[in-house]
Structure 1
Amino acid sequence: MGSRVLVFLLILYVHVFDTISQTDPNDFAVLKSLMDIWENLPPNWKGFDPCGSNWDGIGCTKSRVTSITLANVDLKGQLSSDIPSLTELGMLDLSYNKRLTGSIPRSFGDLKKLTNLILVGCGLTGPIPDTIGSLQRLIYLSLNSNSFSGPIPASIGNLSNLYWLDLADNKLDGTIPVSHGTTPGLDNLVNTKHFHFGQNELSGTIPPNLFSSNMTLIHVLFESNQLTGSLPSTLGLVQTLEAVRFDRNQLSGPVPSNINNLTNVNELFLSNNRLTGLVPNLTGMILLQYLDMSNNSFDASDAPSWFSTLQSLTTLMMDSTQLRGHVPVDLFSLSNLQTVVLRNNRLNGTLDIGTSYSNQLQLINLQNNLIDAFTERVGGYNADSMTIILVSNPVCEESGEAKSYCMLSKLNSSYSTPPNNCIPIQCSSDQISSPTCQCAYPYTGTLFFRAPSFSDLGNTTNYVALQNSMVDSFQSHQLPVDSVSLSNPRKNNYLELSLDIFPSGQNYFNRSGISQVANMLSNQTLKPPSWFGPYFFIGEQYNKFSEAATGSNNSSSIGIIIGATVGGCVLLLLLLLAGVYAFRQKKRAQRATEKNNPFAHWDPDKGSGSIPQLKGARNFSFEELKKCTQNFSEANEIGSGGYGKVYRGTLPSGQLIAIKRAQQESMQGALEFKTEIELLSRVHHKNVVSLVGFCYGRGEEMLIYEYVPNGSLKDCLSGKSGIRLDWTRRLKVTLGAARGLAYLHELADPPIIHRDIKSNNILLDERLNAKVSDFGLSKPMGDNEKGQVTHITTQVKGTMGYLDPEYYMTQQLTEKSDVYSFGVLMLELITARRPIERGKYIVREVRMAMDKTKDLYNLHEIVDPVIVLGVLKGFEKFMDIAMRCLEESGVDRPTMGEVVKEIENIMQIAGLNPNVESATTSASYEEVSKGSFLHPYNSEAFEYSGAIEPSKIEPQ
């Protein structure tokens, strides 16, 4: 009866748990891994159900994570190669996190459903990986305002759905990639509207085939690069263009005449180049508003009369273009004209602005010309609203009377959003009075407009329109924004505006609010009035979060509360029923508890209870370890993983130690913890990491090891450690690891099966001697009735990629399971590849490529380039023993003792003494800057294991 009740309770519990939990387990595991490497995550990233609990920044569809939007939350860390395991991810926006550093992992190419990759204004560096070209669904690619270097990946040309491409404000160099043969290029992007490549270091000529009549480009922005050669005539074929910037390059030759065909262009910037020939006739550009061709080497010519035909013109900039003759008076009658700058030319005669000049005209600058007279009509012009500058012209040099136009003056372009029909109040602390006269902590930043169609920086009408459109946009998206304030307009290469965004309903934003507002700006959801042109935003760090306000909104919280209440009631009922059953089984439960928890009655201070049987390892107090790590300071953190963090410490004796501190979510059971420390305390071998002691208590599980300075073999092979292993050093590392594992199998008492051999668990000391570490999954070998060591039937545990298929299928663990893992490790040493990488299993790849009749067994394309250039003596025998370790059946694999002997023989073939240690000192190292249960590595398994960091699995 009791067992039936228990089964019923278990079934009911699982049903309730599945009902409450809404997050896919794999997606949850990825988010947990991000918690290990990112700092300053939202405080509500707690529990086991990100989708059901509405974690800030996480968007879900059903049980799958489909978006991560954590813009401007001060994330610290690096982009994780685990992110591509979120196979349903559609949007990733981590913009404005300046402490998000490192490079974009190549594995990001596996995010096959990604439509928006937005990483604006972070601290990212390195090249943009060519795998980005695999993101076939990508619509928005915004990587501007970082420090990316290297060339523009030609593979971007494969992104046929791309709408927005922004790589501006980086350190990209090289030429503009275009297609040739089977190689793609930017000319393939016929559906893309935006090419933003300004403020990089691009060089070479502009390929003529970059542009074609099939393209639908709106913005082509290549300003502030190092481009040379001529402007291709194919540019004139892109009839959809609205904004063109090639200024601040080194372009030469004439401007192609067919550029006049671009009838939709509003802004044309060709200044600061070396363009020659005649000033191009642009009468066909009927919508042209902003024209800047200053500082070029055009042929001397009269000021074109077609200037006055550009009825939409607001700004004419022709500084230093060798213009001569009279300035056409009709020019000033253009109704939208605001600015005319014709400095440093050879214009002469009389300046006459006529009587019907534009009422928007603010500036006429003809400094340093040959103007000898200025017609001042009756009533003159309003010098308060318009500035005329004729300094360094004969008209000023010959006049004895001080005229305003003969003095340099600076336009007053100040602006600040005024109060909205209210009286500003005096705010305390560092709060600011908003346009609605409320004291608050605004979210601040700078708006950059790359090609505005106006030049009147003090035009209130423009800013009011921008401000109103922004508030309307925020509020229509139901964001907690009350008002916005614009101020301090200034013109450098772009129009810049200071932006303050004020919260609604309270005087601060929470993290979710900031991230949502920042996301609207980073992914271009917010659309300013068209005359402001393309923009980008750089947000400043916001540090006024109120933790009390970081939870979800009320409407979503109600559902969570109701669900939690119902679930809690059901669980309470289950607990009551289970309590009755447990009371009836009290004595049995007590015995089981004492058996499975050796620390249940152990007081570490008194040494009572079932204390672990240790040999040479001591019990440290929490206070001791806290002191020797300087309160577990960040400076002493030397590693991290799913289990927790590793800290370097110094004992009072001066001995360096490594402290593995488990986090609460990953703490082992007491039995596993006891097993690990008892096993480690009994093993003593130079190729096995020594246990110094442990700490158990106060909710902590910590293991104290000898400090191994050169980190893991994985870090070394990946290049993270900066140590480069040549062939001979890899042989020595292989031998050391094999000796350590052979000791565990054949000489330890009792013998030990490690169960998790992998490159991350092989550490390298100061002489590059390999040491086997991490015994958290280890098992002592059992004896059968005849006293023979056979196998252990146990739940499958290990790391995907290294896992023995025979153990996986039979759940029978033997020492040959470690041998299989060691074989994978040997292939990893040869290739420097992870066991499972981009859906490919290293063992299968080697088997398919291997041909023993050819040199290096035909593995040239697989062998790590770091070693392939040298003479690989004994390589074939190395591969022979590795493949023997990888036999499907355990009985066909060698013992680790046999492996040791084989590697010793290989070293002798290579002319090495297997009994001599590696380098004398570390200073001598060469440095450089889901699934089928039939087989763990069949093709179906790659649906979940490809290109992700191998993780520990526990099939139920």
Structure 2
Amino acid sequence: MGAKVSQLLVIICLMISMISAQNADIATLQALKNAWQNTPPNWDNDQDPCSGSWDGITCTNDRVTIIKLSSMGLNGMLPENIGQLTELQILDLSYNKGLSGPLTSAIGDLKKLTTLILVGCGFSGPIPDTIGNLESLVFLSLNSNGFTGQIPASVGNLTNLYWLDLSANKLIGTIPVSNLIMPVGLDKLTRAKHFHLGDNQLSGGIPPKLFNSSMKLIHLLLENNRLTGTIPSTLGLVTSLQVVRLDRNLLRGNVPSNINSLINVTEMFLSNNQLTGPIPDLTGMNVLNYIDLSNNSFDQSNVPSWLSTIKALTTIKMQKTNLDGEVPAALFSIPQLQNVDLSNNLINGTLNISSNPSSELELVDLRSNLIADFTQRSSYRINVTLVGNPICMESGVTDKFCTVPIESPSSYSTPRNECVPLSCGLNLVSSPNCHCALPYTGLFFFKAPSFSSIGNFSIYNSLRDSLMAFFQRTNLPVDSVSLKNPRRDVDDYLVIELDVFPSGGNPEFNRTGVLEIGFALSNQTFKPGKEFNTFVFIHENYADFFPEISATALTRGTKHKSSNAGIIVGSAIGGCVLVLLLVLAGIYAFRQKERAETTPQQSQPFVAALGDPTSDSDIVPQLKGARSFTFKELQNYTNNFSEMNNIGKGGYGMVYKGSLPNGQLIAVKRAQKGSSQGGLEFKTEIELLSRVHHKNVVGLIGFCLDQGEQMLVYEYIVNGTLKDSLLGRSGIRLDWMRRLKIALGAARGLQYLHNHADPPVIHRDVKTNNILLDQRLVAKVADFGLSKPLSDADTTHVTTQVKGTMGYMDPEYYMTQQLTEKSDTYSFGVVMLELITARNPIMKGRYIVREVKEAMNKNEELYGLHDILDPIIGLSNQLKGLERFVDLALRCVEDTGNQRPTMSEIVKELESIMELVGLDPNTDSASSTCASYEEVSKDYPSSNDSLFSRNEGSLPME
């Protein structure tokens, strides 16, 4: 009897314990709800979270085991209470940028956690040591946050770990490995296949002990840190490796000779270090696709013969590696070869591309070598660049290979199925299946693709197909996907935009659909294939749209009880909404009819008006000094618009280089036929530029309105855009002195537009792509397609719908639609920050203004900005005046216009800074005491169609 009573007491105790644990889980979820803003609406009900009524929560036996809240727009901190969910196995809070503050040490109490994913949030502070308590953890992704401090050595306790991603944070210190004092480190993670530690601030050497033959590692990503010392020979022991990225560090010494033991490596990046000794012999690495050894100080040697033996190569990058001799013709016959960059070496003799080059070969870049001759064949469709070689230095040379090619962005987007795209309203987009819907959107960052050509559309089509197959296989509610705008970013990652459209004819995903898609991409369930390798997906927060979507969409798939009163109220509201929609539809149809009737006039905004004396004066362009060219004249000046003279392509049309009879070089911007938007820009630019004349504003020479053509004729600006030079595309080295000169020149151009043009002009699209550099690096403001003149009635602002480029756009203008001169000031402030960092305004979800403010410490030299300054800008002792420059830039990007300086005030302050550093602000040349004019002249010119067309980054919202 006593035994039975004891058993009964045990059962009762267990039941009480279970009930207590269940109540604790519910209390913890309530604590999460109280700590966060923008939680799912159904978290406000009084039902049990484990009944399936709370989005993102999954329970087993009434205990919370899964929390998946990806892409919900959550704001707040992760409270300590999270540690009480002791049965939790999966925690995914990815893509909630509003989740910030430190990662609580209570995270270490989740002993059953197998998956922890916090990709693309706003967490900061050190990663807690307690992370090492999660001994069941298999998947750890803390990338794309703001974590600081060192990598905890306790991570080495996670012996079941498969995936470790700490990239794109602000981690410092050395890579932890085990030793007598600390018995754990990353070397203990022998089951891990992924070490993603790039884009941090890690320092010290790569520990030899980090690698051993027991490891199963396939991806080693340590790029863009501050690692020093030599590459350890133990790296050659990890023969499972497939991708190795050690680029953009401070590594030195010889590359270990056993590196060719890595016979499974497909991509190897060792570029932008200080490596010396012989060029590594990679013989036997027969599956190698992509090799980049650029910008190292290897011993002078011939182009390696082993390159021709690796038949899988698609990309060879050995820029500035001390190569000499001739390039073997056999190199170009590698079957899959796409891109060869051997620029800035000592290669000489005759360039002979074999008679049977690879059918995939697109680019051979041998600029700045010693090549004296080139055996050409008319059948080549290869872009060969020999700028800076003796063959191009003879007078009168006009061969196409003696000009710097313009890298045109890929125009790829997923083709539509056999249907007619719809015109969708609000935030909706026409899907590839021609359904109007709100897509789940974001960016893929592929860190080690096997190919270099971004123009291979078949590869993107296969990626789309594999994505759709994945979504169908996992039963996710996806109708179609769209990929578009593939490009290389400043880190040489391949970036592709993704849109995912809902199935079932729904206009939007419900929350469950968003959660599942976000989790599928954040936890790397989707495998993109060997061509793309490892990736990071960063989502644009879908939850931000929910307030604009119907209440029905928010609750789709869930059942709620409602009273009759609720039904009556709902019906009444629905009826009102229906009437309102009918009225709006009628107005829309009437306006569409009016627009259709006026389309012919808009497509040719003032062609007819020029010959009609009765035409409205608002339509006729007010031309002052611009010359009218005939079509035949421009045809002659551009060699019949030949392909050789084509120097760019934009949304407006083609741009051609030409020469007037007096020898003056011109750039002819030729509109595409039937482009109504181009016609409006044409009218704006011709009216504005014909009235403005300033050395810091690009000069309009004339126009053509002949034979149905619309063309603008500009002075030819040889050194392209400021953006190109900051990104290293133009070959021009911009030191601190030159950048000051360029900033002052651009400021003076804007000052002229604001204060001296008649009428005054607001540019509305100030950015580094719209600042051009002439042969003496004098800055010229360009591209007036979005500009607005100020009339007498508009003394303070112009009320207009928003246009511009994200990242440069004035937030006050964006919110109020009131465009002022201070809107240009804000954009110029962003340009100033770009000048000192050479970073894009928005990169990987990080905004340059916020990055500078967060990194800045006025108590330190150069405000403590060493980590984000462009290394090319010069040494610390050469950056006199930089603090004042930063102060001025941050005044320009104040939130409200009344706190920002005028362009006149900016010009005065920049002139004062230049005088402080010993420069004459009134000289035209951008050469400096550190870089003579002769240096400028040998920096090779480049062309860019940004002068002549609105860039892809522009945001037309009108």
Q: TM-score, normalised by structure 2?
A: 0.55
Number of the residue aligned with 1:164: 163
Alpha-carbon distance between aligned partners in 1 of 2:388 and 2:207, rounded to the nearest angstrom: 42
State how 1:429-440 maps to structure 2 within 5 Å. Answer: 429-440=426-437
What is the Cα deviation at residue 428 of structure 1? 2.1
Gaps of 5+ in 2: 1-15, 562-958
Q: Could you tell me whether the CA contact under 8 Å between 1:22 and 1:51 is conserved in 2?
A: no
In the alignment, is the contact (CA less than 8 A) between 2:118 and 2:141 conserved in 1?
Answer: yes
Letter of the 1:453 counterpart:
S
1:266 is matched with which residue?
266
Q: Contact conserved, 1:193 with 1:218, CA < 8 A, in 2?
A: yes
Task: Tell me the equivalent position of 1:469.
Answer: 466
Matched residue type, 1:549: A
2:147·2:169 contact (CA, 8 Å) conserved in 1? yes
Q: CA deviation at 1:23?
A: 9.8
Note the C-alpha offset of 1:206.
0.8
Query: Contact between 2:449 and 2:533, CA under 8 Å: does it hold in 1?
Result: yes
Alignment partner, residue 51 of structure 1: 50
The answer to whether the aligner puts 1:390 opposite 2:365 as a matched pair is no
Do the aligned partners of residues 322 and 120 (structure 1) sit closer, same or farther apart at CA in structure 2, a change above 3 Å counting? same
Tell me the residue number matched to 1:400: 396
2:406 and 2:386 map into 1 onto residues whose CA distance is: 14
Deviant stretches of 4+, over 6 Å: none
Give the corresponding residue for 2:423.
426
Match of residue 553 from structure 2: 549
Residue 399 (structure 1) shift: 6.5
* Whole-angstrom CA distance in 2 between matches of 1:327 and 1:121: 45
Could you say what secondary structure the match of 1:532 adopts? Answer: coil
Specify the code of the residue in structure 2 equivalent to 1:162: L
The answer on whether the counterparts of 1:508 and 1:544 sit within 8 Å (CA) in structure 2 is no
The CA distance in 1 between the partners of 2:421 and 2:398, in whole Å, is 43
C-alpha contact (below 8 Å) 1:241/1:265 kept by paired residues: yes
2:408 match: 412
The CA distance in 2 between the partners of 1:139 and 1:220, in whole Å, is 17
Equivalent in 445, 448, 453 of residue 445 of structure 2: 448
Q: Distance in 1 between matches of 2:224 and 2:456?
A: 27
Counterpart for residue 597 of structure 1: none
The answer to whether structure 1 residue 540 and structure 2 residue 536 are counterparts is no
How many Å separate the matches in 2 of 1:124 and 1:392? 48
SS of 1:198 mapped into structure 2: coil
TM-superposed deviation, 1:183: 2.4
User: Matches of 2:331 and 2:210 in 1, distance apart?
Assistant: 35
1:585-600 superposed matches below 5 A: none
Counterpart amino acid of residue 404 in structure 1: K
Tell me, yes or no, if the aligned pair for 2:47 and 2:53 is still in contact at 8 Å. Answer: no
By how many angstroms is 1:380 displaced? 2.9
Q: Secondary structure at the match of 1:34?
A: helix
Q: Deviations for 1:553-605, whole angstroms, at most 9, x for unmatched residues?
A: 37xx6xx99xxxxxxxxxxxxxxxxxxxxxxxxxxxxxxxxxxxxxxxxxxxx
Cα offset, 1:417, TM superposition: 1.4
Q: Distance in 1 between matches of 2:479 and 2:223?
A: 36
**Who is 1:112 aligned against?**
111
Instruction: Give 1:551 shift.
Output: 3.6
- The amino acid of 1:41's aligned partner reads T
Out of 508-517 and 211-220, give the one that drifted further. 508-517
CA deviations on 1:708-753 (whole Å, 9 max, x unpaired) are: xxxxxxxxxxxxxxxxxxxxxxxxxxxxxxxxxxxxxxxxxxxxxx
Q: Deviation at 1:287?
A: 0.6
Aligned to 2:207: 207
State the identity as a percent.
54
**How far apart, in 1, do the equivalents of 2:119 and 2:52 lie?**
28
- Tell me the equivalent position of 1:954: none
If the length of structure 1 is used for normalisation, what is the TM-score?
Answer: 0.55
Q: Which residue of 2 aligns with 1:331?
A: 331
The answer on 1:35 being equivalent to 2:27 is no
* Contact 1:434 1:502 (8 Å CA) reproduced: yes
Shift of 1:281: 0.5
Give the distance between the partners of 2:127 and 2:327, measured in 1 at CA: 49
Q: Secondary structure at the match of 2:498?
A: strand
User: Does the Cα contact within 8 Å between 2:273 and 2:295 map onto a contact in 1?
Assistant: yes
Q: How far has the Cα of 1:22 moved from its partner?
A: 14
Please show how residues 453-852 of structure 1 align to structure 2 within 5 Å: 453-492=450-489, 493=491, 494-505=493-504, 506-542=506-542, 543-545=544-546, 546=549, 547-551=551-555, 553=557
Deviation at 1:550, TM superposition (A): 3.3
C-alpha distance after superposition, 1:420-474 (max 9, x if no partner): 2222222223321111111111111111011111101111011011111111112
2:315 match: 315
Q: Is the 8 A contact 1:204 1:227 kept in 2?
A: yes
Tell me the residue number matched to 2:729.
Answer: none
After superposition, what is the alpha-carbon deviation per residue over 1:619-643, rounded to whole angstroms, capped at 9, x for unaligned?
xxxxxxxxxxxxxxxxxxxxxxxxx
| SS state at 2:34 partner | helix
Question: Aligned ranges for residues 348-367 of structure 1 at < 5 Å?
Answer: 348-367=348-367
CA shift, 1:249, in A, is: 0.3
Equivalence for 1:133 = 132
Deviation at 1:356, TM superposition (A): 1.3
Distance 1:399 1:483, change over 3 A: farther
Deviation at 1:48, TM superposition (A): 3.1
Check the 8 A contact 1:23/1:49 in 2, yes or no.
Answer: no
Amino acid at match of 1:151: Q
Please tell me the residue identity of whatever aligns with 2:448: A
**Partners of 1:475 and 1:41 in 2: CA distance:** 28
CA distance in 2, matches of 1:480, 1:280: 49
What letter matches 2:553 in structure 1?
A
**What CA distance in whole angstroms lies between the structure 1 residues aligned with 2:206 and 2:232?**
7
Deviations 1:669-727 (A, max 9, x none): xxxxxxxxxxxxxxxxxxxxxxxxxxxxxxxxxxxxxxxxxxxxxxxxxxxxxxxxxxx
Pairing of 1:370-381 with structure 2 (within 5 A): 370-377=370-377, 379-381=378-380
Match in the other structure for 2:710: none
How far the C-alpha of 1:401 sits from its partner, in A, is 4.2
CA displacement 1:271-314 (0-9 Å, x = unmatched): 00000001010012111000001000001001111110111000
Q: Which residue does 1:67 correspond to in 2?
A: 66
Distance 2:81 2:60 in 1: 20
Taking the aligned partners of 2:530 and 2:433, their CA distance within structure 1 comes to 26
**Count of aligned pairs between the two proteins:** 536
SS of structure 2 residue aligned to 1:307: helix
Give the C-alpha shift of residue 246 in structure 1.
0.5
Separation (CA, whole Å) in 1 of partners of 2:215 and 2:62? 39
| Mapped contact 1:22–1:49 kept (Cα < 8 A) | no
Of 351-360 and 136-145, the range deviating more from structure 2: 351-360
Check whether the contact 1:157–1:188 (CA below 8 A) recurs between aligned residues: yes
Give the AA of the match of 1:398: E
Q: Structure 1 CA distance, aligned partners of 2:90 and 2:296?
A: 43
Aligned mates of 2:100, 2:87 — CA distance in 1:
25
The one-character-per-residue Cα deviations of 1:205-254 (angstroms, maximum 9, x if unpaired) are 11110101111100000000000000000000000000000100000000
Structure 1 residues 91-149: Cα deviation after superposition (integer angstroms, max 9, x where no partner) = 00000100000111111111000000000000000000010001000000000000000
Matching residue's letter, 1:230: T
Aligned amino acid, residue 388 of structure 2: S
Please state how far the C-alpha of 1:350 moved relative to its aligned partner: 1.1
Q: CA deviation at 1:169?
A: 0.2
| Contact 1:446–1:497 (CA under 8 A) maintained in structure 2 | yes
